[in-house]
Amino acid sequence: MDINKATALVTGAGRGIGRHLAAQLAERGAKVYATARRPESIDLDGVEVLAFDVTDPDSVAAAAEQARDVDLLVNNAGIGGGTLLGDLDGVRATMDVNFWGTLSVIRAFAPVLAGNGGGAILTIASSASWFVFPGTGAYAVSKAAVWSMGNALRQELADQGTRLTSVHLGATDMTKGLDVPNMTAAEVARAALDGVESEVYEVVADEFTAMVKSSLSQDPRHFAARFHEFLTA
């Protein structure tokens, strides 16, 4: 994927990592559709702004129809989430945005990507794909689903030549105030786009996330004990 020749669409581009992704794509020479539920929140130069709600089927269909030249789809839109035994409507809302919304967007744009030579998909996941930070069970479940979805879609989209890169990071609001090496949103965006150009399956963006992923081959009790010590230190 040569980004300076790409046409990209970024969801959730109004702030944070999404805003930096849209800005850096434009800086690298891509044509960029920057989207958000509130398009007035996007204040970037050199991009085409679209209103886009990933949970609204009509909005998703309209975006796929309008942006027929996209060959790089960037799924960044997402929300946090509380405990699984708390507000069930909140759990559903987290899954609706992070999992169902992301899948809906990919399903709508898969034919667009195929028509433009296959292209690539970049999806922002999380270190929470592999562990649960206390009080954020719904978010972790949704991001674990996003990770597994990426692995499945990588197979399903292979025949049309579409590549998929997922980005896992720990530099989020959950880790603020903790003694972990957080990356800035700009650094995460840069690592993510470098991963697309290199056609890697996964971008593990920081040391904390690498530690979490490495724990998957161990007895989960060891990681739970280590994480408890980390939280209470």
Cα(166)–Cα(183) distance, integer angstroms: 17
Give the mean model confidence (pLDDT) for residues 68-88: 96
Question: What percent of the chain has pLDDT above 70?
Answer: 94
Categorize the per-residue pLDDT at 81 as very low, low, confident or very high, splitting at 50, 70 and 90: very high
Q: What is the pLDDT of residue 208?
A: 84
Residues annotated as catalytic are 139
Which of 3.40.50.720, 3.20.20.80, 1.10.1280.10, 3.90.550.10 is the CATH number of 3-232?
3.40.50.720
Question: What percent of the chain has pLDDT above 90?
Answer: 81
Cα(38)–Cα(228) distance, integer angstroms: 39
Q: In the numeric block, which tokens belong to residue 218? A: 């161990």
Categorize the per-residue pLDDT at 67 as very low, low, confident or very high, splitting at 50, 70 and 90: very high
Spell out the domain ranges in the chain: 3-232
| 3-state DSSP assignment of residue 224 | helix
CA 113 from centre of chain: 18
8 A C-beta contact, residue 143 and residue 129: yes
Q: What is the pLDDT of residue 19?
A: 96
pLDDT tens-place string over residues 163-213: 999 999 985 554 555 555 578 899 999 999 999 999 999 999 988 899 899
pLDDT higher than 70, residue 4: yes
Those residues with Cβ within 8 angstroms of residue 144's Cβ, 6 or more apart along the chain or in another chain:
128, 129, 130
Q: Which of 100, 80, 99 is nearest to 90 (CA)?
A: 80
Q: Please report which residue ranges of 4-71 form alpha helices under DSSP H.
A: 16-27, 57-66
Cα(202)–Cα(163) distance, integer angstroms: 11
pLDDT tens-place string over residues 117-146: 999 999 999 999 999 988 999 999 999 999
Cα(123)–Cα(102) distance, integer angstroms: 8
